[in-house]
Amino acid sequence: MSDPNRETETEMKARSGRNLAIAIGLFAFVVIVFVVTIIHLRSNVAVPHS
């Protein structure tokens, strides 16, 4: 790994871009899991249990 104190400006921008991409991907994954969970919960509430 590179030393953060010796990074060039180009390397810093590349690292920031990767961090942003990872953050967006993680956020999208959390939203998808949340939406799927809500859909499953609503479908279970809509079906009456005997």
> What is the full per-residue pLDDT of the chain (50 aa) written as tens digits?
667 778 899 999 999 999 999 999 999 999 999 999 999 988 877 666 66
Q: What is the pTM of this model?
A: 0.71
Predicted local confidence at residue 2, as pLDDT: 63
CB 20 within 8 A of CB 27: no
Predicted local confidence at residue 22, as pLDDT: 98
Instruction: Give kind and range of the element (H or E) at residue 5.
Output: none
Predicted local confidence at residue 15, as pLDDT: 93
3-state secondary structure at position 4: helix
Amino acid at 19: N
Pure H helices in the chain: 9-46
